[in-house]
Amino acid sequence: MRHLTRRLRDILLALFTLSALGAGSAMAQAAPHMLLGVDCSAPPLWHCPDTECQAAVVTQAGPTVEMKTRRPFFLDCPSDYKPGDKVNILLSLHGAGSYANWQRNYFPAMDVKDKYRLVIITPSSPTRVWSEADDEYLHNIVDLVVGTIGKDNVDHFILAGHSQGGMTSNRIICTDYFKDKVDVRISLSGGRIGPTTPAGKGFGPGGPQIYKSGQPYTAPPPFRFPVAAAGPPGGACDYSFIFSNGENESIPTTTSPLADKYACAARVQLPDVIDPKAGYVWDSTRQDPGTDGWGHYPKSGRALVYQFPNCKDGRVVADVVKIGKGHTEGYEPNITEAIIALAVSAKGGKIANGSWTPPVPTPPARSPFG
């Protein structure tokens, strides 16, 4: 019996050793595809399913922690990423009252991260509204990511934001920190540089004073974009600009001060983008009764794409209108890709060709839930 026990112990030990060696081998193989503790080859964490994305998913703030401010963020990267690879960095800001993972699934650039070599940073404001108090955190994350990737390996730096996140991108893009870094700004219902025609279909939940459910209804305060900053349209710095919103919010006019600035040709309409598949997210708190302007449940769609061609210095100026959509329906896959394709077609290289040198990065912490 004693002999059999020792034999069984030896067999179990051998199996454990082989298992450990296998795990070590797998980790070694995964190592080339790691970026700041994120396994780029793994499926994106907390990715919404095609339908019924739950609140527990969209309210996540991110598993990676920026160690100077001790604040979390999401980082997505190409599945075959290796140190030294050329990439395009996208910093994507959520809107007021929102969350990092809602933004990440609202504009799901992570679905095309491999095709367009995207490293996507999706940060989170603890107050759920961006302000100057968040700027250091944003600077630190960009320093960390660029310092790790290497400035020479950044083809484009793209700054995107939805709603108040889009307005924040407008506030920060020409600041001393960002003006020599951002190649392209994407405004997702976050304000156009240039006039628009309001659709007049309600911005925020409207309707009767009692919800359909019988609960009392309190209308939100009117939403107003801030007064435009003094100085030239778009600020005193250069970048490409892609504006996108829903037809039920507003319609961009056929003129653009940025198109004038870069001596672009008259606006032309590109082929429509058709999306049989719906987006992932919506504002579930504003559907009783809701308004067309604010947005309803996600659905398939069609988007009109306009571009001011032949801009000087390789700039891209474009407008996108999602037909039948409002402020909060998540972006469908094909229009998401079309917007990213426009962005990476623009002139890049501000970071790679500039004089800025990122500081030596402080390795981030990883949440045990990541």
Q: Is the pLDDT of residue 16 over 50?
A: no
pLDDT greater at residue 203 or residue 360: 360
- Please report the pLDDT score of residue 226 as a whole number: 53
Q: Angle at CA 367, nearest 5°, toward 33 and 331?
A: 70
Phi and psi angles of residue 352, each rounded to the nearest 5 degrees, phi first:
-65, -35
196 burial via Cβ count (<10 Å: 0-12, 13-18, 19+):
middle
- Residue 158: CB atoms within 10 A of its CB come to 27
Indicate the pLDDT class of residue 11, thresholds 50, 70 and 90: very low
- The bridge status of strand 301-308 relative to strand 250-252 is unpaired
How far is residue 263's CA from residue 55's CA, in Å, rounded to a whole number? 46
- For residue 103, give Cα distances in angstroms to 108, 267, 279: 8, 29, 12
Q: Is the pLDDT of residue 52 over 50?
A: yes
Indicate the pLDDT class of residue 13, thresholds 50, 70 and 90: very low
Architecture of domain 63-195+234-366: 3-Layer(aba) Sandwich (3.40)
Indicate the pLDDT class of residue 204, thresholds 50, 70 and 90: low
pLDDT greater at residue 89 or residue 31: 89
- Please report the pLDDT score of residue 362 as a whole number: 78
- Please report the pLDDT score of residue 227 as a whole number: 53
Indicate the pLDDT class of residue 208, thresholds 50, 70 and 90: very low
The position carrying tokens 């870069």 is 262
- Please report the pLDDT score of residue 290 as a whole number: 81
Indicate the pLDDT class of residue 361, thresholds 50, 70 and 90: confident
- For residue 175, give Cα distances in angstroms to 50, 97, 110, 181, 345: 38, 24, 27, 10, 24
Indicate the pLDDT class of residue 8, thresholds 50, 70 and 90: very low
Indicate the pLDDT class of residue 103, thresholds 50, 70 and 90: very high
How far is residue 141's CA from residue 72's CA, in Å, rounded to a whole number? 10
- Whole-model pTM above 0.75? yes
- Please report the pLDDT score of residue 219 as a whole number: 47
Copy the structure tokens of residue 242.
């892609």
Mean per-residue pLDDT, 79-85: 97
| 67-82 core/surface letters (b: 16 or more CB in 10 A; e: else) | eeeebbbbbbbbeebe
Q: Is the pLDDT of residue 30 over 80?
A: no
Q: What are 301's strand-pairing partners?
A: 275
